C-alpha cells in the first residue's frame, strides 16, 4: 500500500430506508428503518468494516405537514426517524473507529445545551463526534414558540455567533484541569476553568460548561450550506464541508472558491475537507445498473411526484400541466436553501427537462450527483473528481438500505484500495486523527500565551 499518496475520505450518508424517495417500497429495503436500532447498528458496522471515516445523518426538527399534502404523507417513509445524537451515542458503543456526524441547527437550538450534548457524545464515543452545522432552510418555526422563520442573512449571522460561542464553551476546562488526586483531596485546578462570559447580539451565556474539554478538543465541525454566507462560515469555522454538485465544473468551482477563502482566515487549504455527495446505482454490468435505476424510479407514486414538484414550484399553480410538459422555470426564492434551488434550476435549464424527467432527477438524491454503472465506473467517477480539484472526500448516499451500502463496501471500496486511493486500516483512534485534522488548542490558553508574549515585549 502506498502511504504517501493523498487518500480519499469516505462518509456514509444514511437516510433511513435509503436516499431514493421511494426506497422503502423496494424489496431489499428495511421498511421500518427510521425507528429500527438494529438496522442502524448494521449500517454503522458495515461502514466500519469498509473503513469509512464517518457515518452521517441529516436532520430537521419537524415532521411532514399533514395539512399540506395528506396523500404524500401517506406514501413517504421520511417523516419518522431517530434524533441524531441519541442514535450515535448508542451506536458508538458497538463500533470502535468510525466517526459520527450529527446534524444540529444553529437557528433552532440553544448553544449551551448543544455544546453539552456534543461534548458528551465526544466522551461517550472516545473522540469520534462531529457536528454538522446547519442553519435550517425549511421553515420549522411553528414547533418553537417563535413568530416566524428568521431570514437567510439573520440565520447565518446567528450561526457565526453560535459556533464561536460553542467553541468557547468547549474550552471551559483546560485539558489538564482535572487532577483527581485522592491522596491530597484535590479534584480540580480552578485556575484552569474558564468562563466564556459571552454577551452578543443573539446570546448571553456565562459558562462554564458542565462537561470537560472534549476528547478531540472540539468535535469535528462540518458545515453544509453553500450560499455566500454559508461558504464564509465554512471557511472560517468548518473542517469539512458537505456539498451537492451535479457537474464536475460546478464541483471544481465550489472547491476552488471555498479553498480560496481559507488563507484570508489564516488557514491552510488542507484544514477544510470538501465532500460532495454521490448517489451510486450499482450493477454487475451497465445494463444491470440501468435496470436497477429504472426499477427504483418506477416505485415513485404519482402523488409523491406531484408533491416533489409542488415543493419546488412553491407559489406556482401546476394544475394545468401534465408530467410530459416541459418544466417551467423555477421561482426565485431567496430565503430558503439558496444553493440547492440554484442547483435544481440549473439542472432543468441545462437539460431541457420535462416535469417527469425533473421529478425523477430529484427523486434519486434531491439534486446530488447520481452515477449509474459498474463498480469500476463508480470508482472512476470518484477518482476523477478527487484527482482534479473537485473533492477531498465523498458522502456516499446509498439508494436503498441496507443493501446498497453493503454493495458499495464489498464492490467499490476494494477498487479504490487497489488504486491506492483509500485506506486499508484506520490511522488513528479519533475521527480527527483519521481525517488528518489537527486537535485544536484551548482558545483561553492561546489567548493567555499571547498576552504573556505582549507583556514581555
Ligand atoms: C450533504 C448536505 C446535507 C445537509 N443536511 C442538512 C440537514 O440535515 N438539515 C438541514 O436543515 N439542512 C441541511 N443541508 C442544507 C444546509 O446546510 C443549509 O443549512 C441551509 O439549508 C442553507 O443553505 P444555503 O447556505 O445553501 O442557503 C444539507 C446540505 C448538504 C449539501
In a domain, 337, yes or no: no
Domain with 385 in it: what CATH number? 3.20.20.30
Q: Could you tell me if residue 218 is inside a domain?
A: yes
DSSP-assigned states of every residue in 106-152: TTTS-HHHHHHHHHHHHHHTTS-EEEEEE--SS--GGGTTSSSPPPH
Contact predicate 17/30, CB 8 Å? yes
Range of the domain at 34: 9-286+369-456
For residue 11 and ligand 1, the question of a CB distance below 6 A is answered with: no
Domain count of the fold of the chain: 1
Identify the residue whose cell numbers are 479504490.
Answer: 416
pTM more than 0.85: yes
Distance CA 138, CA 386 (A): 31
- Cα–Cα dist 72/372, whole Å: 27
Per residue in 201-231, pLDDT (tens digit) is 999 999 999 999 999 999 999 999 899 999 9
Q: Which atom of ligand 1 is nearest to the CA of 228?
A: 25
* Predicted confidence (pLDDT) per residue in 291-350, tens digit: 999 999 999 998 888 888 888 888 889 999 999 999 998 887 656 666 777 888 888 888
| 419 CA distance to ligand 1 middle (Å) | 32
Question: 32 lies in a domain?
Answer: yes
Q: How far is the CA of 246 from the centre of ligand 1 (A)?
A: 16
323 found inside a domain: no
Closest CA to 173 of 196, 187, 193, 195: 193
For ligand 1, whether the C-beta of 250 sits within 6 Å is no
What is the per-residue pLDDT for 349? 83
| 157 burial via Cβ count (<10 Å: 0-12, 13-18, 19+) | middle
Query: Does the Cβ of 283 fall within 6 Å of ligand 1?
Result: no
What span, in angstroms and rounded, lies between the C-alpha atoms of 12 and 28? 18
Neighbour count for residue 301 (Cβ, 10 Å): 16
| pLDDT value for 122 | 98
The phi, psi pair for 396, rounded to 5°, reads -80, 125
Cell numbers representing residue 237 in the block: 469555522
Average pLDDT, the chain: 94
Q: Is residue 351 part of a domain?
A: no
Of 126, 122, 128, 124, residue with least CA distance to 167: 122
Contacts of 190 by beta carbon, 8 Å cutoff, 6+ apart: none
pLDDT digits (tens, 9 = 90+) for 395-448: 999 999 999 999 999 999 999 999 999 999 999 999 999 999 999 999 999 999
Q: Taking phi first (over 0 means left), then psi (-120 to 50 degrees means alpha), and beta for anything else, what does residue 317 get? A: beta
Quickly tell me which residue has 488528518 as its cell. Answer: 436
- Domain presence at residue 4: no
> For residues 378 and 416, is the Cβ–Cβ distance under 8 A?
no
Position 163 in a domain: yes
Q: 60 in ligand 1 pocket by Cβ < 6 Å?
A: yes
Amino acid at each position: 500500500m502506498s502511504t504517501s499518496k493523498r487518500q480519499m475520505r469516505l462518509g456514509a450518508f444514511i437516510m433511513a430506508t435509503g436516499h431514493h424517495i421511494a426506497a422503502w417500497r423496494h424489496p431489499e429495503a428495511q421498511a421500518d428503518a427510521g425507528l429500527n436500532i438494529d438496522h442502524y447498528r448494521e449500517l454503522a458496522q458495515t461502514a466500519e468494516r469498509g473503513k469509512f471515516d464517518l457515518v452521517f445523518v441529516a436532520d430537521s426538527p419537524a415532521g411532514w405537514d399533514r395539512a399540506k399534502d395528506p396523500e404524500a404523507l401517506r406514501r413517504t417513509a421520511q417523516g419518522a426517524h431517530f434524533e441524531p445524537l441519541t442514535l450515535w451515542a448508542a451506536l458508538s458503543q458497538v463500533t470502535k473507529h468510525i466517526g459520527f456526524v450529527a446534524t444540529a441547527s444553529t437557528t433552532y437550538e440553544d448553544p449551551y445545551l448543544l455544546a453539552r450534548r456534543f461534548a458528551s457524545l465526544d466522551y461517550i464515543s472516545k473522540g469520534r463526534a462531529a457536528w454538522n452545522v446547519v442553519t435550517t432552510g425549511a421553515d420549522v418555526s411553528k414547533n418553537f414558540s417563535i413568530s416566524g422563520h428568521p431570514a437567510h442573512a439573520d440565520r447565518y449571522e446567528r450561526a457565526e455567533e453560535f459556533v464561536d460561542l460553542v467553541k468557547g464553551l468547549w474550552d471551559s476546562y483546560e485539558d489538564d484541569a482535572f487532577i483527581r488526586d485522592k491522596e491530597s483531596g484535590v479534584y480540580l485546578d480552578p485556575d484552569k476553568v474558564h468562563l466564556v462570559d459571552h454577551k452578543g447580539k443573539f446570546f448571553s451565556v456565562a459558562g462554564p460548561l458542565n462537561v470537560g474539554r472534549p476528547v478531540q478538543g472540539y468535535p469535528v465541525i462540518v458545515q453544509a450550506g453553500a450560499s455566500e454566507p454559508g461558504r464564509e462560515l465554512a471557511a472560517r469555522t468548518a473542517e469539512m464541508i458537505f456539498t451537492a454538485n451535479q457537474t464536475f465544473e460546478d464541483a471544481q468551482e465550489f472547491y476552488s472558491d471555498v479553498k480560496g477563502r481559507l488563507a484570508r482566515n489564516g488557514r491552510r487549504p488542507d484544514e477544510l475537507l470538501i465532500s460532495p455527495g454521490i448517489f451510486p446505482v450499482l450493477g454487475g454490468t451497465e445494463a444491470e445498473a440501468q435496470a436497477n435505476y429504472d426499477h427504483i424510479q418506477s416505485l415513485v407514486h404519482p402523488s409523491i411526484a406531484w408533491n416533489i414538484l409542488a415543493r419546488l414550484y412553491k407559489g406556482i399553480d401546476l394544475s394545468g400541466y401534465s408530467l410530459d410538459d416541459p418544466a417551467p422555470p423555477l421561482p426565485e426564492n431567496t430565503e430558503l436553501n439558496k444553493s440547492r434551488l440554484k442547483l435544481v434550476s440549473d439542472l432543468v435549464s441545462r437539460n431541457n427537462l420535462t416535469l417527469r424527467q425533473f421529478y425523477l432527477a430529484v427523486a434519486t438524491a434531491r439534486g446530488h450527483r447520481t452515477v449509474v454503472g459498474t463498480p469500476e465506473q463508480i470508482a472512476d467517477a470518484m477518482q476523477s473528481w478527487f484527482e482534479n480539484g473537485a473533492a477531498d472526500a465523498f458522502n456516499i448516499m446509498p439508494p436503498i438500505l441496507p443493501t446498497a451500502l453493503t454493495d458499495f463496501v464489498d464492490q467499490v471500496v476494494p477498487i479504490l484500495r487497489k488504486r491506492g486511493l483509500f485506506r486499508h486500516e484506520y490511522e488513528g483512534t479519533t475521527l480527527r486523527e483519521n481525517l488528518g485534522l489537527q486537535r485544536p488548542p484551548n482558545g483561553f490558553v492561546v489567548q493567555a500565551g499571547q498576552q504573556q508574549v505582549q507583556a514581555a515585549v
